[in-house]
Amino acid sequence: MWIYEKKLQYPVRVSKCDPRVARYLVEQYGGADGELSAALRYLNQRYSIPNKVIGLLTDIGTEEFAHLEMIATMIYKLTKDATPQQMEEAGLGPNYVIHDNGLFYNNSSGVPWTAAYIQAKGDPLADLYEDIAAEEKARATYQWIIDMTDDVDLQDGLKFLREREIVHAMRFKEAVEIIKADQGTRKIF
């Protein structure tokens, strides 16, 4: 189904150890509006969406997994040289005690990821509007994380991810218009 090339979609660089920012990024790893939730949401919604836009959900859902890899890499690089004390001070003490520097799907407050984050109504327009909102929320979160760090290398990768959220929202808006136009041409007998 997929061809995997062992490289990130966009290079991830960080210039310093910063567990505090890593904790914020955990939101995009296992939070309600994070990359895992988005990938699973879009790939799940494909089964009740018209064929005219099914490829869009497949493409964006797959790309979200690439973004998940980028976030994981950022978190790893931000914490790999952190001491247990630095992890504790950043609010990652419980994660460190349970997982060391391993990643776990939870949000930045430590609440475990749940399938309840995946929205699927079965109505194409309702689902696409949900998807637009999810992309806009992710865009906002990326901007706020960018604002929380002075690491220009990290900001570069985060800006790439923020821009992809904007593109995804625009593509979902186009899909809404395609579905609306299609519904307007249907004839009922």
Residues annotated as catalytic (active site), given as ranges: 35, 64, 67, 135, 165, 168
How far is residue 16's CA from residue 142's CA, in Å, rounded to a whole number? 19
**176 and 123 Cβ atoms separated by less than 8 Å:** no
- The annotated binding site for Mn(2+) is made up of 35, 64, 67, 135, 168
Please, what sign has the CA dihedral across residues 135, 141, 144, 150?
negative
CA nearest neighbour of 62 among 4, 132, 112, 138: 4
- The annotated binding site is made up of 35, 59, 64, 67, 135, 168
- The annotated binding site for Ca(2+) is made up of 59
How far is residue 18's CA from residue 23's CA, in Å, rounded to a whole number? 9
What is the residue-wise DSSP string for 12-51? ---SS--HHHHHHHHHHHHSTTSHHHHHHHHHHHGGGS-H
**Strands, E assignment, the chain:** none
**Phi, psi (5° rounding) for residue 11?**
-60, 140
CA nearest neighbour of 70 among 168, 142, 119: 142
